[in-house]
């Protein structure tokens, strides 16, 4: 199975900050990576798919990049509603696997 | 408007069984792959099972193989997960999720239900 790691595990930031979360895959997955946002008690929500394509309805302050084994999610200017946990997931094949998550909280 | 509504969770003893349901509206499950994904309390996400749009592909995570069965009823537009021989480590919120495509390969999940909590405890 393809393993995903995320860094950092926890991130404290302020409204207006620019933040970047990294996801690394144990083997190459081309651009088959998706980023989800999850708030407490809620289901995950797709932000970015195919590593860099913004899901319809997601604010443009979210962006994704990368291919192969290294990927990143950037939030250009944090808003209060962005404080949540972020997961990457690879979909190069079965089984799909998730990163362990990055919890973003308010400094 | 796409909606996925899970039900059937609850408390069950180790070794017991439970069947989860997911009623779907806003699209036909005969056109998309459908999945179950779970999340243990305070933990990350784990893919559980898939049924492809035409039922040609049913696949399970390693820890679920031989114990869980995914199925569907197209007439009711409903997805199911039969869980047998439950263990404490199966305790989690179980989400049903729609595949962005047919579910045969390269799956990710573009719509999710609200989840149903399964607790395995004596």
Closest chain B residue to A42 measured between Cα atoms?
B114
Task: Check CB contact under 8 Å for B110 and A55.
Answer: yes
Band the pLDDT of A93: cuts 50, 70, 90. confident
Residue B61 near residue A10 (C-beta atoms within 8 A): no
Exposure pattern of B8-43 as b/e (b: 16+ CB <10 Å)?
Answer: bbeebeeeeebebbbbbeeeebeebbbbbbbbeeee
Band the pLDDT of B42: cuts 50, 70, 90. very high
Q: Is the pLDDT of residue B63 over 90?
A: no
Closest chain A residue to B101 measured between Cα atoms?
A91
The string of DSSP codes covering B51-98 is E-TTSS-EEE-TTTTTTEEEEEEGGGTEEEEEE-S--GGG-EEEEEEE
Band the pLDDT of A106: cuts 50, 70, 90. confident
- Write out the two tokens for B87: 């263990």
pLDDT digits (tens, 9 = 90+) for A25-84: 999 999 999 999 999 999 999 999 999 999 999 999 999 999 999 999 999 999 999 999
CB-based contact, B103 to chain A, within 8 Å:
no
Task: Check CB contact under 8 Å for A49 and B50.
Answer: no
What angle is formed at CA A49 by the lines to CA A44 and CA A50, rounded to 5 degrees? 150
State the nearest Cα–Cα gap between B37 and chain A, in angstroms. Answer: 10
Across the A:B interface, residue pairs with CB atoms under 8 Å apart total 52
Residue A89 β-bridge partners:
A34, A98
CB-based contact, A35 to chain B, within 8 Å:
no
Q: Is the pLDDT of residue A22 over 80?
A: yes
Report helix, strand or coil for A101. Answer: coil
């Amino acid at each position: 199975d393809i393993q995903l790691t995320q860094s950092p595990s926890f991130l404290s930031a302020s409204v207006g900050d620019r933040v970047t979360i990294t996801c690394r895959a144990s083997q190459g997955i081309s651009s088959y990576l998706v980023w989800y946002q999850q708030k407490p008690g809620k289901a995950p929500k797709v932000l970015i798919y195919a590593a860099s394509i913004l899901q319809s309805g997601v604010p443009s302050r979210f962006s994704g990049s990368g291919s192969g084994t290294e990927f990143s999610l950037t939030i250009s200017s944090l808003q209060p509603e962005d404080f949540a946990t972020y997961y990457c997931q690879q979909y190069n094949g079965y089984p799909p696997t998730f990163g362990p998550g990055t919890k973003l909280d308010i400094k | 408007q796409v909606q996925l509504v899970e039900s059937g969770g609850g408390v069950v003893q180790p070794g017991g069984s439970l069947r989860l349901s997911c009623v779907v509206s806003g699209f036909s499950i005969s056109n998309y792959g459908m999945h179950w994904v779970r999340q243990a309390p305070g933990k990350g996400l784990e893919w559980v099972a898939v049924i492809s749009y035409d039922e040609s592909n049913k696949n399970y995570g390693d820890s679920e193989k031989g114990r869980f069965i995914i199925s569907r009823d197209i007439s009711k537009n409903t997805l199911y997960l039969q869980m047998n021989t439950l263990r404490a480590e199966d305790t989690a919120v179980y989400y049903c999720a729609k595949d962005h495509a047919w579910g045969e390969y390269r799956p990710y999940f573009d719509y999710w239900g609200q989840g149903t909590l399964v607790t395995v405890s004596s």
